């Protein structure tokens, strides 16, 4: 599993934190992460109904260039850049989910070896943006509010199930991606796709 920030970057803010733009932000702490209505959870849950059925009897199938993955249910995952499998150490996703031809969600995740990482999820209720570097960690919500922290290590006390992130699995001919940080073992599967079976 991948959380937004490496363990060494996790932080707990007391008060008066600053966001990634340097402006004021409310505290990002365990109490906020535990809220059912925090904007990470609400944005992830807003796409739950239009994502491919989790653990479906028929997984999605990649096209030849792995730029698309199609489901018998009518769901389609479009990857900005064709996936190279298996993926390396760092997670870099840029994908759009459609259901019946209508856009359901857009998800982008970027990681670098310098320690910078970001995630952005757009659903029916807007966009939530999470960003982290060695100086701090911030979440920008669809309603314009921001939450930030710059005191290392404290968020570990919240429990890993509370921390926004992804769970991925990639092999030579298959890949899957889930969004986590919803509390307990809950997650939303974005896709589970395989290469076509050779004839």
| pLDDT tens-digit series, residues 6-61 | 433 332 223 334 444 445 789 999 999 999 999 999 999 999 999 998 766 679 99
| Kind and range of the H or E run holding 31 | helix 30-34
- Per residue in 93-108, pLDDT (tens digit) is 999 999 999 999 999 9
Contact at 8 Å (CB) between 133 and 116? yes
Q: Is residue 117 part of a domain?
A: yes
* Domain total of the chain: 1
Confidence tier at 132 by pLDDT (50, 70, 90) = confident
Contact at 8 Å (CB) between 25 and 48? no
Q: Is residue 183 part of a domain?
A: yes
**Structural domain for 118, as ranges:** 2-194
Contact at 8 Å (CB) between 107 and 95? yes
Q: Is residue 199 part of a domain?
A: no
Cis omega (within 30 of 0) for bond into 86: yes
d(CA 78, CA 95): 5
């Amino acid at each position: 599993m991948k959380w937004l920030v490496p363990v060494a970057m996790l932080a707990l803010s007391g008060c008066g934190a600053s966001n990634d733009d340097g402006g004021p932000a409310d505290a990002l702490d365990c109490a906020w992460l535990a809220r059912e209505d925090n904007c990470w959870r609400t944005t992830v849950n807003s796409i739950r109904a239009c994502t491919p059925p989790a653990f479906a009897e028929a997984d999605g199938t990649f096209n030849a260039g792995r730029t698309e993955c199609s489901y018998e249910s009518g769901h389609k995952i479009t990857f900005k850049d064709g996936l190279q499998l298996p993926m390396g150490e760092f997670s870099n996703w840029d994908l759009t989910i459609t259901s019946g031809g209508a856009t359901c969600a857009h998800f982008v995740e970027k990681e670098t070896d310098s320690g910078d990482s970001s995630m952005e999820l757009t659903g029916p209720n807007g966009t939530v943006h999470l960003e982290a570097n060695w100086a701090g960690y911030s979440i920008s919500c669809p309603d314009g509010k921001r939450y930030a922290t710059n005191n290392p290590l404290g968020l570990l006390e919240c429990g890993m199930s509370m921390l926004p992130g992804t769970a991925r699995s990639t092999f030579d001919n298959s890949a899957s991606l889930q969004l986590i940080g919803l509390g307990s073992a809950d997650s939303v599967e974005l896709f589970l796709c395989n290469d076509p079976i050779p004839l």
